[in-house]
Structure 1
Amino acid sequence: MTRTVEDLIGTFYEAFRGKPELLDDIVADDWADIPLGPDQAPGRAGATPLIQGINEAFGDFRIVVHQIVDGRGPDGNGFVGVRGEMRGVHSGEMFGVAATGREIRVRIHEFHEVLDGRIVRTWHMEDWLDWFQQVDARPTH
């Protein structure tokens, strides 16, 4: 069964709500997450601690998709662009900043390469500078 782009991307982002097992059917074992997060191991296995850490730092964490640009070909292979937003409550330490209890919104832009129904590579950019401003902090590096 071929997944719709909305199902594929929706499942990918639902996994980041603390459900890394959802990645098993949609992300390649050797998935390339570019760039890797701090201390993140490569491959799909590296996503589990990343997801756990995000959910420890942000309560009610979710990713809201604003736009999907489906650049896949008729065979379902190709690139999918996503414009979205991470949302949650800053309830745990993140980047050395103690919990503030503030509602946060972080803009994201991602490109996912899809091959044979699985995401094989993801390039992502988050607006962490805006996050620092939302929590009245400054990056240390």
Structure 2
Amino acid sequence: MKKIEEANKIVMNRFVEFINTADEKLAEELICQNAIFYVPGQPEPMRGPVGYLTIINMMRSGFPDIQWALEDIVAESDKVAARFIMRGTHQGSFFGAPPTGKSIVVQAMNFYCLSDGQIIEEHGQPDFLALLQQIGAVPTL
């Protein structure tokens, strides 16, 4: 099993390169055509490389300089749990909030299922409350 888990960690590090560049070739390489991505606030999951690029482009529309850093990773068999830190500057409209120029630092906890070196499923849990508070769209408590 160790071999599969180490291979999945390598895939996840390449995945970070993909989400930070939105490189379509990497998307095709790392994401299964039938992959399913559950996104908070979306009634239906996104699908395949095109669906994941849609997620990235949605984030980049509000934060054109957004970058993700993989802080923690736990791999067991075909499952991976990853904690990311997203950093960016609010330079475009995001969920109805006009650009503020404010910087964000937001965590995300995501859970993945991989098969044959590709991501086949993701349950993403970014801390949208913290993000919206940091851009002033939601009051802090």
TM-score after normalising by structure 1: 0.82
Q: Which moved more, 1:2-11 or 1:90-99?
A: 2-11
1:45 to 23, 41, 50: 50
Contact kept? 2:79, 2:112, Cα under 8 Å:
yes
Structure 2 counterpart of 1:67: 72
Q: How much does 1:123 deviate?
A: 0.8
Contact kept? 2:7, 2:117, Cα under 8 Å:
no
Distance 2:48 2:41 in 1: 12
The percentage of aligned residue pairs carrying the same residue is 26
Contact kept? 2:64, 2:89, Cα under 8 Å:
yes
Structure 1 counterpart of 2:19: 16
Structure 1 counterpart of 2:95: 95
Distance 1:4 1:137 in 2: 40
Distance 2:96 2:53 in 1: 21
- What is the aligned-residue RMSD (CA, Å)? 2.3
TM-score after normalising by structure 2: 0.82
Higher helix share: 2
* Number of residue-to-residue matches in the alignment: 133
Structure 2 counterpart of 1:57: 62
Counterpart mapping for 1:129-140 below 5 A: 129-138=129-138
Gaps of 5+ in 1: 73-77
Q: How much does 1:137 deviate?
A: 1.4
Q: Deviations over 1:4-43 (max 9, x none)?
A: 3343112212222242411111110011101366487422
Distance 1:41 1:108 in 2: 18
Contact kept? 1:107, 1:127, Cα under 8 Å:
yes
Q: Deviations over 1:34-87 (max 9, x none)?
A: 136648742222222322222221132111111000112xxxxx1011011111
- The answer to whether 1:35 aligns with 2:39 is yes
